[in-house]
Structure 1
């Protein structure tokens, strides 16, 4: 089954009760048992729910995985992965990653005795220098947030496999439409399903997908024991969103290319970060491991000034100034004061998140309107 078909039919079947094409919203906390311990596959909704089960099957299908898990948020999904670790374990993570992930790593799990190394992974060979007997996890994003750096997932997987280390990939920006990390050798794929998988800015959710049965069972245990599950209404919304993922991503990519090209030619713009440019670091890797280059674009102005950046994002009319990304509507954000404010300023600036950096989530509106909006905001 091809990807575009999987988004609609992958591991899905009509509802057993009445043949409903879409899985019903089973808005219940518990299920009747005929005798203690005997039920029809569902006992208590924290452990499993038919609507969530259908969504988790869809997650697995579109990522070419065997097992999918849905969580209450992307951070809840990441938290479940970190709960695989114990005191004294070490994690190697890309040095430019989502601020919420950085905060979870450094403000919570470091206190529990987990050590984190933040490494520039554009040259993946640098990873091995940080691997020792305590290394249990490599965590990467590709493209990264918000610098859109590209990491060679297949090569990183070879390193992880060589040292028997788990490799987890945050695939939120790319989505399985553009790349499937499990096919490239990763052990765990994570999504903030709030973003492109849901696609309509109306739900908060996280996802994990794996192939290994033992690893899946450990994560299912954590999911049930910790209880950070999504509700059936949210599961229904994301399942519905996935059915149009392929057509939305195609338009996101087309519009992002047009916007990035416009910005690159604008006299007031200094740097444009978009993986599709041949000058973008590891563009050659992106062309191999990705189908297209995604719907995210970041840029800085020649003024290199905080106030100038704030003025631009405040002046945009179609692009809404808001947290998050991946919805049908275009959004803009100022990473230094919004999504990545939890990262110390010196650390932010070392990886390029300067005060003049602006991040754009390119929606599926008409590209001419988006470009006109940027043109008027830039002045």
Structure 2
């Protein structure tokens, strides 16, 4: 039989089933290996001075495409492009149904570079108020104070009337769905339609959903960012970020800024991310089911005031979740206690199986108190605007036995 030269897109997407796509991943090797090799070289030999001049001037820069092409003449210097990183980016692009993907050293590097590629001094950004603490700090301090970018934070309840916040200089609408840590959802098709109507770039942080549960580009959103540190890698052993889009022009803007700032992903971390993506569908499926079961337990506990999880029928965005999140509502939930901040501290400090630590999306379950840890940059007024109660506990569900996690929560709640 004649050997076919299948592209990485074929390995990633051919069956159009998420499970197969994650498992078949990036295979950048000439020797039949099933794992992507780590290309450690920082620089690459060119065939001629002319070719070197073209690559150095970036005039010959390849299209950012999801077929994962890795021709030798695409690589010049690893801060610009690395074979291992490019292969893993192609894998993630296939999962997210994106035309291209750029990988970064952290999630915040991905967020900041994508936003800075779209705005300049004097421009205006609309952002929902309930966003990750690092994003809030970037918008409210660095962009406003150091870059003279105007930022309007909008309560998620007001996004239905988003158009009244649009100004002539509005360049970006930034959303997070599900939001961290309140687990509110945004109607992505509605946001996308407004962006297209007014020629405004729409960006979503889809970290909590993962491509298994939600694919925003198919709903009309322009740009998807991920903290790949979380669910995509899944093992608490790397930091990474991703920017994905179907716009070649925007991806090139992000690429050139990334090359200038130097916020690239190392080939070693790219290799670890490739390993994590292979089991993404298995982990997320377990976490979807376990988080829903834990949410039901907490929802009926007498010491719990409210549970934030869009898989609960009592959640404000339950019906939107059924339409927008295809396979489940993710492995993150949060809940508030009747007794306030001090009771929250007692609970998280008496857990025995669940780990007291920031971050999320790991195989290990992690818990934290948002007001004092991940969102400590927010003052009381900002916390209130974002809907974050001082007692709110954020729980990232791992792959442990769900009954053990429920029992751990039960015994810890006895201390309040």
Q: Quote the Cα distance in structure 2 between the aligned partners of 1:222 and 1:59.
A: 21
2:68 aligned partner:
none
How far 1:189 sits from its partner (Å)? 0.2
2:84 aligned partner:
51
180-189 or 123-132, larger mean C-alpha shift: 123-132
Conserved 8 A contact 1:122-1:152: no
Conserved 8 A contact 1:71-1:206: yes
- Unaligned segments of structure 2, at least 5 residues: 1-15, 53-71
Conserved 8 A contact 2:231-2:361: yes
Match of 2:133 among 67, 76, 99: 99
2:222 aligned partner:
187
Conserved 8 A contact 1:269-1:301: yes
How far 1:20 sits from its partner (Å)? 2.2
The correspondence of residues 154-169 of structure 1 with structure 2, limited to 5 A, is 154-169=189-204
Q: Quote the Cα distance in structure 2 between the aligned partners of 1:279 and 1:91.
A: 32
2:263 counterpart SS class = coil
Question: What is the root-mean-square deviation of aligned Cα atoms in Å?
Answer: 1.2
How far 1:350 sits from its partner (Å)? 3.1
Deviations 1:118-153 (A, max 9, x none): 112345322111111100000000110000001100
Deviations 1:200-259 (A, max 9, x none): 111000000000111111111111121100100000001110111001000001110111
TM-score calculated relative to the size of structure 1: 0.97
1:81 aligned partner:
114
1:32 aligned partner:
45
How far 1:19 sits from its partner (Å)? 3.0
Match of 1:297 among 333, 348, 355: 333
1:306 aligns with 2:341: yes
How far 1:14 sits from its partner (Å)? 4.5
Deviations 1:53-106 (A, max 9, x none): 011101211100010000010110011112221011111111111000001111
2:394 counterpart SS class = strand
How far 1:33 sits from its partner (Å)? 2.2
Conserved 8 A contact 1:297-1:359: yes
Q: Quote the Cα distance in structure 1 between the aligned partners of 2:355 and 2:272.
A: 22
Q: Quote the Cα distance in structure 1 between the aligned partners of 2:335 and 2:28.
A: 46
Conserved 8 A contact 1:122-1:151: no
2:375 aligned partner:
340
Conserved 8 A contact 2:176-2:205: yes
1:239 aligns with 2:274: yes
1:15 aligned partner:
29
Number of equivalenced pairs: 376
Conserved 8 A contact 2:130-2:156: no
